[in-house]
Amino acid sequence: MEKNLKKRLKEETLYGTFVPFALGDVADYTSRLGFDFIIIDNEHGIMNQETIFDMIRAAQCQRTPVLVRCTNSTPDMIHKVLDMGAEGILVPVINTAEDAREVLKSALYPPMGERGIAYFTRASSYGMIEDKTEFLKKANEEVFISIQLETGAAIENLDEILEVEGIDMFFIGPNDLAASLGLPNSHPEMGRIIKETIDKITAKGKTAGIFVTDDETARKYTGYGAKLILTSITKYLTQGVKEYLRKAKNS
Ligand code: 3PY
Ligand code: MG
């Protein structure tokens, strides 16, 4: 965690994974695998707040930056995980510029946003800070705020969404996007829309991210200009275990 994710993204492509299982040990294990960061998936993972807190601490013990995918952009969701000390958030299903502004409002301290201030949280070192003004300024500068574009509406409203200043990464969710458009993931039209979306994001000088489930697709999208590649550990665990069992039983 020498440099925060924002600074690193200016210089390099980052590879992360969702952690969908609700256990500090799994976050600890995943943080030792070599990913540049992990994302605790509390959109689909079944997690309570204490577990998320454990998972954040486990990742940071390994000096692995950690974001939380929140269920939505309400302050109760975003304030809590940022107070726990997560480096940032990923918010799904952002359809309009107004949706994106709501996320910023919840994630930033005043005057830029409406994040509530407390000096007894882990994020504020339990109050052991010397300069409160400096603390708030630095927190606003460093928090990593990312949103998901994964519906037909988001693609339609992309130009306005990209006008919203302060979003650190625009993440394409191919599964929901395909479902929203009524297309199979593998449809050529999906490929075209994804490329066009990455092109528009990068043409604005902004950072594009995308979800992949294999290395070939990861390389394709970095070739298009995506700077943040996210996968999920489950597929590789499944593949590895199945292959082991197949080979072990054949010998
Ligand atoms: C999607 O593909 O819809 C995602 O949200 C990826 O995580
Ligand atoms: Mg999705």
Any idea what DSSP says for residue 63?
A: T
Residue 91: phi, psi to the nearest 5? Answer: -115, 125
Among the atoms of ligand 1, which is closest to the Cα of residue 174?
Answer: 2
Among the atoms of ligand 1, which is closest to the Cα of residue 230?
Answer: 7
CA of 232 to the centre of ligand 2 (A): 12
Q: Which residue's CA is the nearest one to ligand 1's atom 6?
A: 173
Considering 32, 44, 137, 192, which one is annotated as catalytic? 44
SS3 call for 80: helix
Q: What is the per-residue pLDDT for 55? A: 98
Q: Which residue's CA is the nearest one to ligand 1's atom 5?
A: 173
Residue to mutate (ligand 1; options 91, 93, 175; most atoms within 8 A of CB): 175
Q: How far is CA 10 from CA 5, 14, 166, 221, 242, in A?
A: 9, 10, 15, 17, 38
Q: CA 90, 46, 232 angle in degrees (round to 5)? A: 55
Tell me which residues have their CB closer than 6 angstroms to ligand 1: 92, 148, 150, 173-176, 211
- Locate tokens 């597929």: which residue? 235
- Locate tokens 């952009």: which residue? 73
Rounded-to-integer distance, Cα 218 and Cα 15, Å? 9
Beta strands in 24-183 (DSSP E): 37-41, 66-69, 88-91, 144-149, 169-172
Catalytic (active site) residue 187:
no
Give the tokens for residue 98.
């107004």
- Locate tokens 């290395």: which residue? 215
Give the tokens for residue 87.
């480096």
Closest by Cα among 130, 10, 137, 18 to 66: 18
Q: What is the per-residue pLDDT for 1? A: 47
Q: Which residue's CA is the nearest one to ligand 1's atom 4?
A: 173
pLDDT values of the chain reduced to their tens digit, one per residue, 251 residues? 445 899 999 899 999 999 999 999 999 999 999 999 999 999 999 999 999 999 999 999 999 999 999 988 888 899 999 999 999 999 999 999 999 999 999 999 999 999 999 999 999 999 999 999 999 999 999 999 999 999 999 999 999 999 999 999 999 999 999 999 999 999 999 999 999 999 999 999 999 999 999 999 999 999 999 999 999 999 999 999 999 999 999 96
CA of 190 to the centre of ligand 2 (A): 15
Residue 205: which residues within 8 A CB-CB, separation 6 or more?
A: none
Is there a contact between 58 and 31 (Cβ–Cβ < 8 Å)? Answer: yes
HEC sequence for 16-49:
EEEECCCCHHHHHHHHCCCCCEEEEECCCCCCCH
**Burial class (CB within 10 angstroms; exposed 0-12, middle 13-18, buried 19+) of 235:** exposed
Nearest ligand by distance to the CA of 177: 1
At residue 46, what is the residue type? I
Nearest ligand by distance to the CA of 20: 1
Nearest ligand by distance to the CA of 175: 1
Rounded-to-integer distance, Cα 218 and Cα 230, Å? 9
Beta strands in 52-135 (DSSP E): 66-69, 88-91
